[in-house]
Amino acid sequence: MAVSVDEAVSAGPVRDHSPPARRFGGRGRAVLEVALLTVLAVVMLFPVLWMIETSIKENRDVYAIPAKFFDFKVTLDHFRDVFVASGGGRSALSVSFLNSVVVAGVSTVLATVLGVPAAWAYSRFSVKAKKDQLFFILSTRFMPPVVVVIPIFLMYRQVGLFDSKLGLILIYTAFNVPFTIWMMKGFVDEVPAEYEDAAMLDGYTRLQAFWRFTLPLLLPGIAATAVFALIFSWNEFVFAIFLTSSDSVRTAPPAIAGLIGGTTVDWGLVAAASVVFALPVLVFAYLVRKHLVAGVTLGAVRR
Amino acid sequence: MAGIEVTALHKRYPDGTVAVDHVDLSIGDGELFVMLGPSGCGKTTTLRSIAGLERQTTGDIRIGDTLVNDLPPAERDIAMVFQFYALYPHLRTRDNLAFPLRAEGLPKPEVQERVDEAARLMRLGPLLDRRPRQLSGGEQQRVALARALVRRPRAFLMDEPLTNLDAELRADMRTEIKHLQGELGTTMVYVTHDQVEAMSLGHRIAILNKGRVEQIGTPLEVYDRPASLFCAAFIGSPPMNLIEVEVADGKLRSKSGLALTPPPGLPRDRSLVAGVRPEALEVTEPGAEGSVPARVVSAEWLGDEIIYVVDHDGQRDVRVRMPPTVRFAADAPVGLRHTGGPPPVYDVSTEELVA
């Protein structure tokens, strides 16, 4: 159904009863949509595809001009180099990956353990200046890390937290707790407080009521929140590069960035390290995707 | 079973909100006592204080002979039914009913026996193996009631239990609750904002406003002689007509001359308002004896009755309840006449009943 603008305007009152959107709709529109989305998808995904391709190319194919898109030899050497040092033994990169797992994992667990009960308390109890407190908690997230990293660096050096995993864990937890409180408060608000009231009438203490009845209903929310916190800690770069100096403490983002620079850059290794770095978060998000969707839609409890 | 005494209850939240200003209640053993009021009047907070879910700032609560101020909810020997049912979502109906008994540590055969008895009483037989989300709203509320029953508590506390049900079901459940309470003879405190529910259920009604008790009385007392202008406006649908009146040569007259039967002991030196129920007025042919001229603004035909809204000199929107046989067209000139006994009269400045 091709209708020119002139026709559409001068068609008179009765000729076409279909709603206005349909005049520009139909096949043409669908084709255009698909084309536009394809272009967008290619533009967005090309760097990712190129990263994956580079990670499995041999070095001379990586530097080939013109670039080779399809006809290259597949090799997993770069992935081996990510984990194994050139003389045997563990590579510095593999150590930094392990550091990332420890730092991101522990800080996420800590933020959840601290943030969920806090969110519950803010949701359930009448607290003096509750809104101001919540705003203050959120305001700690307003400042970009790079603004506070120098003072924190100085403080950490004084108290001996500089270049330690504990230091990174603490700072990531501090950044994730406000986020956890805010996001979890929304989930707690959705669970009727009557469950806890009923449980208390049945003989449980307030904390037991929370633990036995509210917490299980919060699990989808906790999963969604933890994924976001984990992604933050896993990807964090600024604190990681300023607050660590040795290879044994450094997390993956600064370690991968450290591969670039110097006289030659082993792009195959950079790409392979990036792929390995991206995978855990993707896998984790995929595993909890059901909870993520539930988290976005909320309203899981019928009122 | 036990009565409940609430003395000088005051509840102030940490953020400064005063939910309950001053409430005294004396609820008799076996009474169905209704707390009625608009939202934010403190009725739910009072109930939650009785349950022990809130700790009052000052004041005493006694259940039976026990001072329960510092007892946790579970040790007060009461059961509560909530607006949102609060059935544990992961438990079947049977286990939801048994839950409070198992928490008490009762032996298995007795738990079984009590659950069966409550299920029989609330006719839950076919629902025993379903989970809450497989039940309709009405069924969930029946399970919630049964869960309160199994504990055989000294008192039931009901927090707007019918608000979430549709109108027809609400009427059924109302009857059921009233019947059940009568049969068990257990003290029940029932909170609602619905005056019809309050009137039809309560042995006595307490009307609360802004954290204070405005009036306590039987449904008829509350209807016939509201203790304040607030109660007068709150009870009854359509509400009482509040007509400015003055006392002249032993008569009570509105400004336009509508004569009302005067109650004894009227003060003379204050500005007064009379509360006249729609059924204590009559729309007549214009010029009928004892009537003042008026005009019909609108008529609501309800089938069994007609509510006329009339204007008469200086007094707008007077509501009159008439039988469906008496018909006047909109805008027709009519007469307005008072037919009832002496109406309650209020002081405009204090808003209290004076005669």
* Average pLDDT value for residue range B102-128: 88
Q: How far is CA A276 from CA A85, B27, B349, in A?
A: 16, 71, 79
> Cβ distance A227 to A285 under 8 Å?
yes
Minimal C-alpha gap between A230 and chain B (Å): 29
Kindly report, residue by residue over B265-283, the tens digit of the pLDDT: 888 778 889 999 999 999 9
Q: How far is Cα A110 from Cα A113, in angstroms, rounded to an integer?
A: 5
- Per-residue pLDDT at B31 exceeds 80: yes
- Structure confidence at residue A284 (pLDDT): 81
Question: Which of the four pLDDT bands, split at 50, 70 and 90, describes residue B317?
Answer: confident
Per-residue pLDDT of chain A (303 residues; tens, 9 = 90+): 344 444 444 444 444 555 555 555 678 889 999 999 999 999 999 999 999 999 999 888 888 888 888 888 888 989 998 898 888 788 889 999 999 999 999 999 999 999 999 999 999 988 888 899 999 998 888 888 888 899 999 999 999 999 999 999 999 999 999 999 999 998 899 888 888 998 898 888 899 999 988 998 898 889 889 988 998 999 999 999 999 999 899 999 999 998 888 778 888 999 999 999 998 888 887 887 777 666 555 544 444
Q: DSSP secondary-structure letter at A158?
A: H
- Determine the 3-state secondary structure of B70 from DSSP: coil
Question: Which of the four pLDDT bands, split at 50, 70 and 90, describes residue B44?
Answer: very high
| Cβ contact A201–B79 (<8 Å) | yes
Q: How far is Cα B148 from Cα A171, in angstroms, rounded to an integer?
A: 49
- Structure confidence at residue A13 (pLDDT): 47
Asked if the peptide bond before residue A178 counts as cis, ω within 30 degrees of 0, the response is no
Minimal C-alpha gap between B150 and chain A (Å): 12
A217 chain-B contacts, CB cut-off 8 A: 89
| Cβ contact A201–B15 (<8 Å) | no
* Average pLDDT value for residue range B228-256: 87
Residue A200 touches partner B, C-beta closer than 8 Å? yes
- Residue labelled with tokens 């000139």: B333
Q: Which of A202, A208, A210 to mutate to test the interface with B (most CBs of B within 10 A)?
A: A202
Residue A302 touches partner B, C-beta closer than 8 Å? yes
Exposure string for B58-94, b = 16+ CB within 10 A, e = fewer: ebebbbbeeebeeeebbebbbbbbbbbbbbbbeebbb
The tokens for A263 are 């006289």
| Cβ contact A201–B100 (<8 Å) | yes
Q: How far is Cα A228 from Cα A237, in angstroms, rounded to an integer?
A: 16
A205 chain-B contacts, CB cut-off 8 A: 72
> Cβ distance B312 to B318 under 8 Å?
yes
- Determine the 3-state secondary structure of A50 from DSSP: helix
| Cβ contact A194–B104 (<8 Å) | no
pTM of structure:
0.77
Residue A212 touches partner B, C-beta closer than 8 Å? no
Q: Which residues pair with B347 in a beta bridge?
A: B272
Nearest to A139 by CA among A170, A110, A179: A179
Helices and strands (H, E) in chain A, number of each type: 16, 0
Exposure string for B236-272, b = 16+ CB within 10 A, e = fewer: beebbbbbebebeeeebbbeeebbbebbeebeeeeeb
The tokens for B212 are 């204070």
Q: How far is Cα B209 from Cα B213, in angstroms, rounded to an integer?
A: 6
Helix A130-139 / helix A92-124 crossing angle, nearest 10 deg: 170
Decide the pairing of beta strands B187-192 and B155-159: parallel
| Cβ contact A195–B104 (<8 Å) | no
Q: Cα A15 from chain centroid?
A: 53
- Per-residue pLDDT at B4 exceeds 80: yes
Minimal C-alpha gap between B307 and chain A (Å): 36
> Cβ distance A285 to A292 under 8 Å?
yes
pLDDT > 70 in chain B, percent: 99
Q: Cα B230 from chain centroid?
A: 14
User: Could you tell me which chain A residue has the CA closest to the CA of B156?
Assistant: A201
- Structure confidence at residue A20 (pLDDT): 52
Decide the pairing of beta strands B32-36 and B204-209: parallel
Residue A203 touches partner B, C-beta closer than 8 Å? yes
* Average pLDDT value for residue range B16-27: 93
> Cβ distance B58 to B10 under 8 Å?
yes
DSSP string, A70-139: S---B--HHHHHHHB-TTSSB-HHHHHHHHHHHHHHHHHHHHHHHHHHHHHHHHHS--TTHHHHHHHHHH
What ranges make up the beta strands (E) of chain B? 4-12, 18-27, 32-36, 58-63, 66-67, 78-81, 155-159, 187-192, 204-209, 212-217, 241-248, 251-254, 259-260, 272-276, 281-284, 292-301, 306-312, 315-322, 333-338, 345-347
The contacts of residue B43 (CB under 8 Å, 6+ apart) are: B35, B36, B37, B191, B193, B208
- Residue labelled with tokens 């001229």: B293
- Which A-chain residues 66-125 have CB contacts (< 8 A) with chain B? none
Nearest to A234 by CA among A98, A88, A36, A34: A98
Q: Which residues pair with B159 in a beta bridge?
A: B191
- Structure confidence at residue B99 (pLDDT): 87
- Per-residue pLDDT at B51 exceeds 90: yes
Kindly report, residue by residue over B80-105, the tens digit of the pLDDT: 999 888 888 888 999 999 988 888 88
Kindly report, residue by residue over B158-179, the tens digit of the pLDDT: 999 998 888 888 888 899 899 9
The tokens for A30 are 């669908």
